[in-house]
Amino acid sequence: MYRVMLVERNRLMLEKLTQVVQGTNGFELVARYQSVSDALGQGTIFNPNLILLDIEEQNSVALIADFLKVYPKASILCMGEKWKAESASHIVQAGARGYIIKPFTGVELQEAVDTFLKLGTEAGCETLVFFSPKGKSGKTTLIANLATALARKTHEQVGIIDADLQFGDMSVFFNLAPKTTIVEAARDVKFLSPVTLHPYFMPVMQNVSVLCGTATPNLIDKVSIRRFESIISMSRSLFRYLLIDVPPGFNPTSIAAAEQSSTTFLVSMINDAYEIDHMKRALEIFQDWEDYQERVKAIFTRVEPCNSQSQQELARKLGYPVTAIIPNEYSIVSDAADNGKMATDIRPDSPLAQSVDRLADEITGRGHRIRWSVS
């Protein structure tokens, strides 16, 4: 049961929100104030464990600090009239659990609490972008399996955004018939907050959900880069790990996603002899990033034989470390896809599952070779 304290300057809004809180199961309104100083001075006797705090036109960082001092055990959910990525990250850094747009419904309040109090916060989201120098790299297969492995190992929330706008096939992979895709998310994003964006993601298994790509290639024009960027930054509030599938090659979408990434994986499938050249060219372009050696990682898929010699050999040819290699396992991959299941779930002992597991360990810091920073 949440013991709610409402702090809202506008009297009419306070009335409205009072009704919502009182009408929502699992929430009890224990105190409400129009004035911040009253809330700080008089509210403690009511022992609230959830504070809904109006931060519109106020110095939210200082305000949150004051409330945390007086109510160290309460969770603070900030309220405002419009979602702004900047202020959302500031308030989370200041110690609030999240942000909700007011006025809200009981369902939205419940969702906000579920989302922010149980799930991760923006401060702790690893944004992993999978970039391929050219098409058919094995990245969709990798992302789907890696998401599964991350969720299984960490029990944390994992999100996938399929932004490979022309050839998006994550929905095929997970056997989904999505009602909402990135196109609807982009259409609505101006009016959304993380909480209201969440339902656009389709759950595919415990702790994994997917924002699917477009069903029709000609809809790609509907997703502007600005809106795509908003979708990413809102999604960062929802997941501990956010995996983004982008179109092959350098294009506005893949660049925008990479810019927001904590790590960009360059994924290339062993095929002809050109994959090393393609990878080299991609690395050159990312070299402009100051921290590119920490932030850009190379992965080869369909590697045969899939052992440490091959990995070293690829790294030597590339002149850059190779973070992971994924074995050639066509039959497992296509069997799994036919069943609408992930390869890692079907054959957890398979070499493919083991490679993906190792990568997941490195990402979560359980592996020891690479240190990952939380952005």
Ligand X SMILES: Nc1ncnc2c1ncn2[C@@H]1O[C@H](COP(=O)(O)OP(=O)(O)O)[C@@H](O)[C@H]1O
Q: Give the type of residue at 10.
A: N
Q: Is 140 in the site for ligand X (CB under 6 A)?
A: yes
3-state secondary structure of 284: helix
Question: Measured from the CB of residue 269, what is the shortest distance to ligand X in angstroms?
Answer: 7
3-state secondary structure of 244: strand
CB 359: neighbour CB atoms within 10 A?
A: 23
Which entry of ligand X, Mg ion, none binds 153, CB below 5 to 8 A by partner kind? Answer: none
**Closer Cβ to ligand X, 261 or 328, answer by number:** 328
* C-alpha distances in Å from residue 235, one per residue of 52, 140, 219: 22, 19, 21
- Using CA atoms, how far apart are residues 133 and 82, in angstroms rounded to an integer? 38
- Residue 333 Cα to chain centre, angstroms: 25
Element (H, E) at 299: strand 296-303
Question: Measured from the CB of residue 136, what is the shortest distance to Mg ion in angstroms?
Answer: 8
Question: Measured from the CB of residue 320, what is the shortest distance to ligand X in angstroms?
Answer: 20
Which entry of Mg ion, ligand X, none binds 301, CB below 5 to 8 A by partner kind? Answer: ligand X
Question: Measured from the CB of residue 304, what is the shortest distance to ligand X in angstroms?
Answer: 9
Q: Is 135 in the site for ligand X (CB under 6 A)?
A: yes
Question: Which residue's Cβ has the minimum distance to Mg ion?
Answer: 140
Question: Measured from the CB of residue 144, what is the shortest distance to ligand X in angstroms?
Answer: 8
Q: Is 84 in the site for ligand X (CB under 6 A)?
A: no
In the list 119, 328, 344, 353, the residue contacting ligand X (rule: CB under 6 A) is 328
Contact string 330-359 vs ligand X (x = CB under 6 A): x--xx-----------------x-------
In the list 24, 75, 115, 141, the residue contacting ligand X (rule: CB under 6 A) is 141
Question: Measured from the CB of residue 134, what is the shortest distance to ligand X in angstroms?
Answer: 9
Q: What angle do CA 340, 344, 348 make, to 5 degrees?
A: 130
Q: Is 140 in the site for Mg ion (CB under 5 A)?
A: yes
The token pair at 102 is 């007011």
**Closer Cβ to ligand X, 218 or 330, answer by number:** 330
Segment near ligand X (CB under 6 A); pick from 21-29, 130-138, 190-198, 254-262: 130-138
3-state secondary structure of 212: strand
Q: Is 132 in the site for ligand X (CB under 6 A)?
A: yes
* C-alpha distances in Å from residue 81, one per residue of 102, 147, 192: 5, 34, 11
- Using CA atoms, how far apart are residues 368 and 130, in angstroms rounded to an integer? 22
Which entry of ligand X, Mg ion, none binds 326, CB below 5 to 8 A by partner kind? Answer: ligand X
Q: Give the type of residue at 338.
A: D
3-state secondary structure of 293: helix
Number of residues that bind Mg ion (CB under 5 A): 1
Candidates 128, 372, 122; CA nearest to 261 is 128
Question: Measured from the CB of residue 74, what is the shortest distance to ligand X in angstroms?
Answer: 45
Segment near ligand X (CB under 6 A); pick from 275-283, 317-325, 328-336, 359-367: 328-336
What is the DSSP track for 310-340?
A: HHHHHHHHHTS-EEEEEE--HHHHHHHHHHT
**Order of all β-strands in the sheet with 98-101:** 27-33, 2-7, 50-54, 75-80, 98-101
Which entry of ligand X, Mg ion, none binds 334, CB below 5 to 8 A by partner kind? Answer: ligand X
**Closer Cβ to ligand X, 133 or 194, answer by number:** 133
Task: Give residues in contact with ligand X (CB under 6 A).
Answer: 132, 135-141, 301-302, 326, 328-330, 333-334, 352
